[in-house]
Amino acid sequence: MDRLASRLWRLAYRKDPLTGFILIVGAVDAVIGGVGERWGLFALGAMLAFGALGIRWMQLQRTRQIADLPLPRRFLPAARSPHPLPTLQRKRHRTHY
């Protein structure tokens, strides 16, 4: 059980600690409110938890949209020199001029 709790903790805080914190606070409030039959606290906790999930979902959608954009193609300009560049050699095979 301890492994599972530590794994969930790391997953919640790894990418975005602020929404992870709000999600955990909201979930704890909802549990306390539900067990203690304090429906105002339960509703507040549920709204916080679902709000944090919504914010994280929006952030994931935004990063997916950015990742899906095609990368611009970049080409080197045409060589203006008639002589090509020399081939690269390892340091021990170089000759000193």
Rounded Cα–Cα distance for residues 40 and 53 (Å):
20
Domain ranges of the chain: 16-68
Torsion of CA 4, 6, 7, 9, to 10 degrees: 120
Rounded Cα–Cα distance for residues 78 and 27 (Å):
60
Q: Which percentage of the chain shows pLDDT scores above 70?
A: 72
pLDDT, tens only, 20-67: 888 888 988 898 898 888 889 889 899 999 998 898 888 888 777 777
> Which residues have C-beta within 8 Å of that of residue 40, sequence separation ≥ 6?
33
As a residue count, the chain comes to 97
Q: Half-sphere exposure of 49 toward its Cβ, with a 13 Å CA cutoff?
A: 14
